[in-house]
Amino acid sequence: MCSNSLTDYQFTKAFKHGKFCSVYKANCTVNDRVVVIKKFSLEQEDDAELKRLFAEIQCCRQFKHPNINEILHSFIVDSDVYVLYPYMCFGTCQILLESIFTNGLPEPLIALIFKDVLSALMYIHTNDFVHGSVRAHHILLDSQKAVLSNFHESRSFIKHGKKKPVLHGISHEKNLNWAAPEVLDQNVHGFTEKCDIYSVGITACEMANGIQPYSETQPTLMYTEKIRGNVPSLLDRSTYTMLLDDQGKMPFENATTRRTYEIFSQRVLTDDFHQFVEICLNRNAENRWSAKKLMTHAFFKQCRHVSISDHIKKCRSESQNNSLIDDESIGPLDDHAQECREDVQWNF
Amino acid sequence: MQCSSLAHEHTRRARRDGNCNRAPFIRSYNKCTQIACVELRAQRIQMTVTVTSTHVMEAQAKATILQSGGGGEQQHGSDKSVDVAGKDVDLVGAADDEMTVLLTNQNYHFDATSDIEDAFVELNGSKDVELDAAVGGNHHAEHPQVTWLDDDAIDALDRVTLDIGNMFFNRVDSQEIIYQQKKKNIKMVGKYVMGDVLGEGSYGKVKEAMNSENLCRLAVKILTKRKLRRIPNGEQNVTREIHLLKQLKNQNVVQLVDVMYNEEKQKMYLVMEYCIGGLQEMLDHAPEKKMPLYQAHQYFQQLVNGLEYLHSCRVIHKDIKPGNLLLTLDQTLKISDFGVAEQLDMFAPDDTCTTGQGSPAFQPPEIANGHETFAGFKVDIWSSGVTLYNLATGLYPFEGDNIYRLLENIGRSQWTAPDWLYDLDESFAKLILGMLQADPTARLSLQQIRKDAWFLSAPAVTGPPIPIPPLKGDKYGRSTVLPYLEAYHYGNEQDQEDVYFTEHDVNQELARRAASAAAEIRANRNAAASVACHSYEPSTSAEAEAMVNGSREVTTVKKKGSGLKRRAKKLVSCISVRKLSHCRTS
């Protein structure tokens, strides 16, 4: 069991320092375990963030599944809430995409990750929960497995002892690009757990292409595109021409985009992967496969006899600029963050 | 002789607007701007008009399609003419965003050849109608003429004809009133994209909107200074309402998201969370105007939660009624319209109030009898009691031919629950009786209601709940902002062509909808009857309902298709009109 006292934790690194939330890596001296500690300030003008945090903690504590990021412990000291998570050495998929795999993750690694993510989704869906914000940023990796985290958007079909047939309510602004059309549409029919499957499809494109879908699109255009059934797609030899304009040229040509373009035009993603994404991004929620059925998809055949750490280690050794990542760190640590760490140490 | 020739006039409008001084040619239809027919012959006509017969179809259309939502904030009406009747001149002005142009054509046939079955107007009196012929009197009837009017011209025409203060009917063939479909041009107010009009009140319009940043659906209440000035205490009430709403934040109270002002246009925008409909509309569309007991129970519980919150904030709503209770997409009840609400002073010793301006049928005896002071919280209890009674039975505990009789009846004596109410549900009858105690001190408090046996019970599910009526025929309740966004992002690729249709089409469409609505009601009745025969099994009947819905979907789709076809056919005739030299596209 973890300790409620800050003196039992040795803060070793600050990952992020924000107005509302700061993230640290720490050693728990009681059981000698490496943990990630998120510190939230209770003194907020708007309590909406706090409510979301409490909902997340309540929700996560009901889950027990190897592919769901568990909350080890949470406690309050002074006016701050401290939430403890297990340490995941490779950090989020988004950090991997930004640091090593800038042109997308290799397909077998994506298959490995989604196998874990889908098993987590299958678990929460059978428990009548919807995650609501599946995206690369909310998938954490360590050498063994991928875990699903960030349940602050999750909703349950069960409310006041009754099970509702559908859910209503739109996603948080930051997660809109991954949201399913029926979530954005906000009509009487609402949405079901199949909205997570759509987000899986968008996330697959994000991880394969190394580009956040719709990141440079106006939200309203993203909305109408999705309503019309237009979806992003995997970029490889068969589809890279989509990046080109009418004359067959790159719209904004420079060295980086040229290189990206070359990589896309040379690589081949399997038909299974294309089909998997197509199934996930079906405009009609009823025609999307359930998480359980998706796990039987041929896309996952390539998961045999490999593990996540093999892939990442292999790629890292190939990569020239591996200075950003090592087993110890999961993100760049700037001077500002360093200062914050001093503050924290001073606190105890 | 003029009069007799007018005998079979086409005066739908006269019927519709009944006693108000509506210009005969102008009315608004949901998607298009009405265009006024301008060619009025300069002539003096002596007549009074009495409406003798109403067109059955039209009446049905009114009942089913038009919504008379009784003052709810977001009345999702599809046609404004009912609402506007008796208010004032701005019908066309109100519709300005929705429609464009009106054109008129040809000379009018002052004969009785066509559409006999339409309306009959009996002319029997003598009233001087001096018609201002300046409006565009054109005696050259040989050349068919088309005059395009923009909104301002329509508005002006409206005023001119209305200012005369009399009714004058000119015969215009419904085929000759041509509408042009308004292009969906995107309109932004701040970061909000505006959609279609949801409803209208005396203060202005309520439009749907969408936050362009987080894509949240919203409702925007648009208040114009000009209209506010005409309402007694209008501006004060609005200021108070905004002040109140800004403090309130509860699941069962409508949330004010943003307030914006446009000094130039003298408009104020209240951005609120989106509600799909109100309880009053649901009742209006339901057979016998009531809902099953378990459904009323569900809403009543939320009403009590909301009221408890309001009273804890020292706010007395004073106008609780089904029209002011709205529902969100997930069936959460929202108390809305704080126009006459009062917030007690922080240091007030008790909840004594002096003014009550709510709806008469929901007023407690102490207000009906004109007491100088009364306990404020108990006013809301009484109104909630009347509301609950109305939801579950479709009736009012007190009725009266006019407002004086009604108030007299309310104030006269203690209400007694009818025997059939005890037969329906004894504990329910007792709760109603407790809330409708004439003596405010004997009336139940919210705390007592919370402990009430019926309130705590879970009434048996006795059939499918009554649905929220579809908005403008869209049973999915989709965002009306979407067409504007599509036009903005993709250009008007799908409708480059102007779409025209005539009044005749509109009427046929109304009749068709009325017929289908009637058929639906009949089908529902049959279904209800068959459900009543068999014992109710939730799962199977839900399936059946789904099937019924499914089949209905299919039929509506088909009908829409045929409607389009009809319009397409008419297009030909309209285009031929357009070729005329006087035509000018707006």
CB contact A159 to B (< 8 Å): no
Residue list, annotated binding site of B for ATP: 221
Q: Do A185 and B479 touch (CB under 8 A)?
A: yes
Tokens of B50: 């009495």
Domain shared by B38 and B127, yes or no: yes
How far apart CA A249 and CA A261 sit, in angstroms, is: 11
Q: β-strands B352-353, B342-343: how paired? A: unpaired
Q: Do A220 and B329 touch (CB under 8 A)?
A: no
CB contact A229 to B (< 8 Å): no
Task: Give me the pLDDT at residue B269, please.
Answer: 93
How confident is residue B150, by pLDDT bands cut at 50, 70 and 90? low
Hey, which residues of B are catalytic here? 319
Pairs across A and B, CB distance < 8 A: 61
Of B249, B273, B297, the domain-final residue: B273
- In angstroms, what separates the C-alpha of B313 from chain A's closest C-alpha? 19
Instruction: Using the predicted structure, report yes or no on whether residue B53 has a pLDDT greater than 50.
Output: no
Q: Do B214 and A168 touch (CB under 8 A)?
A: no
Q: Do A219 and B468 touch (CB under 8 A)?
A: no
- Domain assignment of residue B141, yes or no: yes
CB contact A224 to B (< 8 Å): yes
Task: Give me the pLDDT at residue A177, please.
Answer: 92
- Domain assignment of residue B341, yes or no: yes
Neighbours of B560 (CB within 10 A): 11
Torsion angle, alpha carbons of A141, A144, A150, A154, to 10: 130
Scanning every residue of chain B, which has its alpha carbon at the shortest distance from the alpha carbon of A228? B486
pLDDT per residue as tens digits for the range B151-210: 666 666 655 555 555 555 667 777 777 776 666 788 888 899 999 888 887 778 899 999
Angle at A222 between CA A221 and CA A227, to 5 degrees: 95
**Of B373-382, B502-511, B544-553, which has the strongest mean pLDDT?**
B373-382
List the CATH number of the domain containing B325. 1.10.510.10
Of B114, B148, B180, the domain-final residue: B180
Alpha helices in B145-278 (DSSP H): 151-163, 225-230, 234-247
Domain shared by B233 and B315, yes or no: no
Domain shared by B175 and B29, yes or no: yes
Domain shared by B193 and B331, yes or no: no
Domain shared by B159 and B235, yes or no: no
pLDDT per residue as tens digits for the range B460-475: 888 888 888 877 667 7
Q: Which of B193, B478, B490 sits opposite A187 (nearest CB)?
A: B478
How far apart CA B556 and CA B534 sit, in angstroms, is: 29
Reported for B504-509, long-range contacts at CB under 8 A and 24+ positions apart, including other chains, are: B504/B173, B504/B174, B504/B175, B504/B177, B504/B570, B505/B566, B505/B567, B505/B570, B506/B29, B506/B179, B507/B12, B507/B58, B507/B174, B508/B566, B509/B563
Q: Are A346 and A13 in contact (CB under 8 A)?
A: no
Domain shared by B324 and B384, yes or no: yes
List the CATH number of the domain containing B200. 3.30.200.20
Q: Which residues of A touch B217 (CB under 8 A)?
A: 170, 186
Q: Which residues of B touch A176 (CB under 8 A)?
A: 214-215
Residue list, annotated binding site of B: 221
Report the percentage of chain B scoring pLDDT > 90.
24
Instruction: Report the half-sphere exposure of A14 (CA within 13 A, side-chain side).
Output: 18
Domain shared by B346 and B452, yes or no: yes
- Residue B145 phi/psi, 5° resolution? -125, 145
Instruction: Using the predicted structure, report yes or no on whether residue B425 has a pLDDT greater than 80.
Output: yes
Task: Give me the pLDDT at residue B517, please.
Answer: 80
Q: Which residues of B touch A188 (CB under 8 A)?
A: 276, 329, 468, 475-477
Question: In terms of pTM, does the model score above 0.90?
Answer: no
Which tops the pLDDT comparison, B48 or A149? A149
Tokens of A49: 């963030």
pLDDT per residue as tens digits for the range B481-529: 888 888 888 876 555 556 677 777 778 888 888 888 888 878 877 776 7
Residues of chain A with pLDDT under 50: 320-348
Q: Which residues of A touch B193 (CB under 8 A)?
A: 220
Q: Do A220 and B485 touch (CB under 8 A)?
A: yes
Domain that holds residue B196: 188-273
Instruction: Using the predicted structure, report yes or no on whether residue B342 has a pLDDT greater than 60.
Output: yes
Q: Are B344 and B351 in contact (CB under 8 A)?
A: yes
Scanning every residue of chain A, which has its alpha carbon at the shortest distance from the alpha carbon of B467? A188
- Domain assignment of residue B528, yes or no: no
Taken in order of first residue, the domains within chain A and their CATH numbers are 6-87 (3.30.200.20), 91-234+269-324 (1.10.510.10)
Residue A104, Ramachandran bin (φ over 0: left; ψ between -120 and 50: alpha; else beta): left
Domain shared by B254 and B297, yes or no: no
**For the purposes of burial, counting CB atoms within 10 Å of the CB of B33, is it exposed (0-12), middle (13-18) or buried (19 or more)?**
buried
CB contact A48 to B (< 8 Å): no
Task: Give me the pLDDT at residue B180, please.
Answer: 66
Q: Do A188 and B217 touch (CB under 8 A)?
A: no
Q: What amino acid occupies position B321?
A: K
Domain shared by B350 and B431, yes or no: yes
Longest dimension (CA), chain B: 79
CB contact A218 to B (< 8 Å): yes
Torsion angle, alpha carbons of B575, B577, B582, B586, to 10: -40
Tokens of B161: 């004809």
Which tops the pLDDT comparison, B545 or B26? B545
- Domain assignment of residue B284, yes or no: yes
Kindly tell me the number of DSSP H helices and DSSP E strands found in chain B: 20, 21
Task: Give me the pLDDT at residue B460, please.
Answer: 87
Closest CA to B448 of B460, B430, B468: B430
Tokens of A164: 């509702």
- Domain assignment of residue B258, yes or no: yes
How far apart CA A152 and CA A54 sit, in angstroms, is: 8
- Domain assignment of residue B545, yes or no: no
Torsion angle, alpha carbons of A39, A42, A46, A50, to 10: 60
Q: Which of A168, A173, A218 sits opposite B214 (nearest CB)?
A: A173
- Domain assignment of residue B495, yes or no: no
Which tops the pLDDT comparison, A200 or B351? A200
How confident is residue B459, by pLDDT bands cut at 50, 70 and 90? confident
Give how many domains chain B has, as a whole number: 3
Task: Give me the pLDDT at residue B532, please.
Answer: 56
How far apart CA A40 and CA B489 sit, in angstroms, is: 40
Span B202-225, mean pLDDT? 89
Q: Do B274 and A219 touch (CB under 8 A)?
A: no
CB contact A169 to B (< 8 Å): yes
Domain shared by B450 and B342, yes or no: yes
Domain shared by B356 and B420, yes or no: yes
Mean of all residue pLDDT scores within chain B = 69
- Domain assignment of residue B46, yes or no: yes
| Straight-line distance from the first to the last Cα atom of chain A, in angstroms, rounded to the nearest whole number | 21
Judged by DSSP in three states, B153 sits in helix
pLDDT per residue as tens digits for the range B534-545: 544 444 444 444
- In angstroms, what separates the C-alpha of B585 from chain A's closest C-alpha? 30
Task: Give me the pLDDT at residue A318, please.
Answer: 63
Instruction: Using the predicted structure, report yes or no on whether residue B280 has a pLDDT greater than 50.
Output: yes
Task: Give me the pLDDT at residue A250, please.
Answer: 63
Of B154, B180, B206, the domain-final residue: B180
Determine the angle formed by the axes of helices A271-280 and A194-209, rounding to 10 degrees: 140
Q: Which residues of A touch B212 (CB under 8 A)?
A: 218-220
Q: Which of B214, B476, B489 sits opposite A176 (nearest CB)?
A: B214
How confident is residue B380, by pLDDT bands cut at 50, 70 and 90? very high
Domain shared by B250 and B167, yes or no: no
Task: Give me the pLDDT at residue B298, please.
Answer: 92
Which tops the pLDDT comparison, B575 or B16? B16
3-state secondary structure chain A: CCCCCHHHEEEEEEEEECCCEEEEEEEECCCCEEEEEEEEECCCCCCHHHHHHHHHHHHHCCCCCCCECCCCEEEEECCEEEEEEECCCCEEHHHHHHHCCCCCCCHHHHHHHHHHHHHHHHHHHHCCEECCCCCHHHEEECCCCEEECCCCCCEECEECCEECCCECCCCCHHHHHHCCHHHHHCCCCCECCHHHHHHHHHHHHHHHHCCCCCCCCCHHHHHHHHHCCCCCCCCCCCCHHHHCCCCCCCCCCCHHHHHHHHHHHHCCCCHHHHHHHHHHCCCCHHHCCCHHHHCCCHHHHHHCCCCHHHHHHHHHHHCCCHHHCCCCCCCCCCHHHHHHHHHHHHHC
**For the purposes of burial, counting CB atoms within 10 Å of the CB of B328, is it exposed (0-12), middle (13-18) or buried (19 or more)?**
buried
CB contact A219 to B (< 8 Å): yes
Instruction: Report the half-sphere exposure of B92 (CA within 13 A, side-chain side).
Output: 27
What is the per-residue burial (b if ≥16 Cβ within 10 Å, else e) of B289-319?
A: bbbbbbbbbbbbbbbbbbbebbbeebbbbbb
Q: Do B329 and A190 touch (CB under 8 A)?
A: yes
Q: Do B476 and A168 touch (CB under 8 A)?
A: no
